Structure 1
Amino acid sequence: MVTKSGRGWHGMGWDWTDHQEIRGRLEQGADPEEWSGGRPLHRAAVFGSPEVVGELARRVADVDALENGVTALWEAVVSRKSENARALVAAGADPWRPSLGGWSPGRLSLAGPTPGLFAVPDGVRLSDAERAAGEEAARLVAALGTFHYEGTGLACVAGIDAAEAVRRLEATPADEEFGDEVMEDPYAYDMEETQWLIGVTTVPGGCVVTQPWGYAPQMPGVLRRLSAGTVCYGLYANPKSGNQGSIARDGVLEAGDLHPGGGPYEGDTAEQVLSSYLYQLNAVAYACAQVGLRPDDARAVVGPADRWVELPPRDYWDR
């Protein structure tokens, strides 16, 4: 039964891949223009199948209608749903319509893993800097690989090595064997035993400060000390609320409550849109890239660190 509140989509969750079910709902009166305050086509572009996308696209008034400032095709491209993107273009969606940060879905796709997704009109191309950013993103994401980082705190610092980071933090050497043991099973220890323990590793472009079991590296007082004369990106992969990012520059906390690995968002600059697309769902790679770090693997994040040190106990939450 189609109700005003449900619009015929009652019970629909994350899975929009069942073409038979979606078509049945539509034939019974489900509204192709509205679902739970949003648009079914946008939902299907990310969580559906090409068949469902095509079915919905044939029934909407405007295949390029906006939700949160973007089209369904934009959502498909950003979410790496290439077949859904092709289905939308076949239904009349415009790959070259400008969107967030001045990017079109088609031009944005040129920087990612599917540069041949659409036929490219004459005169549409990436700049040298945009192409280089795409190439480095592909390398960095592959180099880091896939690993569990929920609960990890990081500080990615440009232009200084591990020794200089330790000096700035006034940290003292910790027992290396103890650090490696904690890494094997950090939650076997009381927080009081490990709250000041951090790993510091030099990587191309700077260094990484890590605590795979806690938030210490991204505390404001840590970031401010590390960022003197340079820039630092802090990340805490909060198990409760998701990835939290912050930027410190030359001793000043410049931005907080950021969402590395998410977006792009309305109001983002062209550079922010590109970074968000290239590092979608890759918060660690995003944090490294924001300050120009180029690690060759994930060791600086997951260990073993170049050195284990202990922070001097103090209030690091003073912004």
Structure 2
Amino acid sequence: MAAQDGWTGMDWDWTDHGDIRERLERGADPEAWSGGRPLHRAAVLGSAQVVAELAGRVADVDALEMGVTALWEAVVSRKPDNALALVAAGADPWRELIGGWSAGRLSLAGPTPHLFALPAGERDLTDAERTTAAEGARLVDALGRFHYEGTGLACVAGIDAAEAVSRLQATPADHGLVEEVLDDPYAHEMDDILQIIGVTSVPGGCVVTQPWGYAPSMPGVLTRLSVGTRCYGLYANAKSGDQGSIARDGTIDGWDLSPGCGPHESDTAEEVLAAYLYQYHAVAYACAFAGLRLTDARAVTGPCDRWVRLPRRDYWVQ
């Protein structure tokens, strides 16, 4: 397909206006690229010049791909210049798309709330949505950027570290061994250190962490922690990316989720907002799901309140 539509060799860089224009003049299809739409690709990965060039050549600037317009993609990707170029070409910011949200209304919850003028009759954010957006920005800023590949987490609502330890029937871990593992986890066999986890109380609940493995996100851990409450499990798999799971009141309620990947076509209104606020911030997403109001990343990266050892049992069953 790529060899026939004129976009051979295009991948992650759609910023070269000269190259894009030359391809179009030679017959590249402005409506099709590798099974998708070039305008949607450029909205995320291109420059405003490229977006304007493509927008002027397509039949419908508001054509849908996976249920959303190119303008939606530009807003979700935090590309305000691309979004403005699309609006200048006739894109409608207030067309409802996923979960009842339009691109324009979603932008009100992001870093450029004044990107589009709110027309008379269009819905502003509710007080609850505005509060959620403000907390999202605060939480992302509080956690900052840090390396978490290979880390396992359980973010638990409403219980502190002591209660989490009790529910897991965990015992204090050997301090010397913990220091050795933190210094070089790869010097140890995973079977010997998988039961060691860190637990920290935070505003709103607690965080269970393991910087070297997936133990906190195992089903048997999540179900024990979530009795009478809810929690979000996260494993930052180095091979397949961030993997999320949900447990509510002792039952796994969601598995093989993709936190931090942006809104999906089937999302509810609340899920769309959360996915937008925490795109590329999987840890913050997990914390927010459980209502945790961390003020820094210590509960994830350490030093933890306490290090404990899980009893040996099959945690892959609920």
Which TM-score bucket, shorter chain as reference?
Answer: over 0.9
User: Secondary structure in 1 aligned to 2:4?
Assistant: coil
**CA deviation after TM superposition for structure 1 residue 187, in Å:** 2.1
| Corresponding residue for residue 117 of structure 1 | 115
The one-letter code of the counterpart of 2:127 is D
| Corresponding residue for residue 157 of structure 1 | 156
Among 20, 34, 37, the residue aligned to 1:36 = 34
The one-letter code of the counterpart of 1:37 is G
The C-alpha deviation readout for 1:205-228, integer Å capped at 9, x for no partner, is 000000011000000000010011
| Corresponding residue for residue 251 of structure 2 | 252
Q: Distance in 1 between the 2:169 and 2:160 partners?
A: 14
The one-letter code of the counterpart of 1:165 is A
Q: Distance in 2 between the 1:294 and 1:172 partners?
A: 27
- Is residue 299 of structure 2 the alignment partner of residue 297 of structure 1? no
The one-letter code of the counterpart of 1:280 is Q
| Corresponding residue for residue 59 of structure 1 | 57
| Corresponding residue for residue 90 of structure 1 | 88
**CA deviation after TM superposition for structure 1 residue 257, in Å:** 1.3
Contact 2:2 2:34 (8 Å CA) reproduced: no
Aligned positions, number? 317
User: Secondary structure in 1 aligned to 2:208?
Assistant: strand
Q: Distance in 1 between the 2:31 and 2:309 partners?
A: 56
**CA deviation after TM superposition for structure 1 residue 175, in Å:** 2.4
The one-letter code of the counterpart of 2:73 is E
**CA deviation after TM superposition for structure 1 residue 4, in Å:** 7.9
Q: Which moves more between the two structures, 44-53 or 173-182?
A: 173-182
Q: Distance in 2 between the 1:122 and 1:197 partners?
A: 57
User: Secondary structure in 2 aligned to 1:101?
Assistant: coil
| Corresponding residue for residue 210 of structure 1 | 209
Among 14, 20, 23, the residue aligned to 1:22 = 20
Contact 1:180 1:304 (8 Å CA) reproduced: no
TM-score after normalising by structure 2? 0.97
The C-alpha deviation readout for 1:220-274, integer Å capped at 9, x for no partner, is 0000100111101101111111111111111111111111111311111000000
| Corresponding residue for residue 190 of structure 1 | 189
The C-alpha deviation readout for 1:49-108, integer Å capped at 9, x for no partner, is 111001000000100000011000000000111111111111111110101000000000
Decide whether aligned partners of structure 1 residues 192 and 120 sit closer, same or farther in structure 2, where only a CA change above 3 A counts: same
TM-score after normalising by structure 1? 0.97
Contact 2:2 2:33 (8 Å CA) reproduced: no
| Corresponding residue for residue 105 of structure 1 | 103
Decide whether aligned partners of structure 1 residues 204 and 4 sit closer, same or farther in structure 2, where only a CA change above 3 A counts: closer
The C-alpha deviation readout for 1:151-181, integer Å capped at 9, x for no partner, is 1110000000000000000001012343244
**CA deviation after TM superposition for structure 1 residue 120, in Å:** 1.3
Decide whether aligned partners of structure 1 residues 216 and 309 sit closer, same or farther in structure 2, where only a CA change above 3 A counts: same
The one-letter code of the counterpart of 2:53 is E
Q: Distance in 2 between the 1:180 and 1:144 partners?
A: 24
Q: Distance in 1 between the 2:286 and 2:41 partners?
A: 28
User: Secondary structure in 1 aligned to 2:234?
Assistant: strand
Contact 1:176 1:307 (8 Å CA) reproduced: no
User: Secondary structure in 1 aligned to 2:5?
Assistant: coil
Q: Which moves more between the two structures, 36-45 or 186-195?
A: 186-195
Q: Distance in 1 between the 2:291 and 2:246 partners?
A: 13
Contact 2:51 2:86 (8 Å CA) reproduced: yes
Identity value in percent = 73
The one-letter code of the counterpart of 2:145 is T
**CA deviation after TM superposition for structure 1 residue 185, in Å:** 2.8
Contact 1:153 1:212 (8 Å CA) reproduced: yes
**CA deviation after TM superposition for structure 1 residue 6, in Å:** 2.8
The one-letter code of the counterpart of 2:266 is G
The one-letter code of the counterpart of 1:16 is W
**CA deviation after TM superposition for structure 1 residue 286, in Å:** 0.2
User: Secondary structure in 1 aligned to 2:99?
Assistant: helix
Q: Distance in 2 between the 1:4 and 1:197 partners?
A: 49
| Corresponding residue for residue 146 of structure 2 | 147
| Corresponding residue for residue 69 of structure 2 | 71
Q: Distance in 2 between the 1:107 and 1:120 partners?
A: 8
**CA deviation after TM superposition for structure 1 residue 146, in Å:** 0.1
Unaligned runs of 5+ residues in structure 1 are none
Unaligned runs of 5+ residues in structure 2 are none
| Corresponding residue for residue 307 of structure 1 | 306
**CA deviation after TM superposition for structure 1 residue 5, in Å:** 4.6
Contact 1:183 1:303 (8 Å CA) reproduced: no
- Is residue 229 of structure 2 the alignment partner of residue 234 of structure 1? no
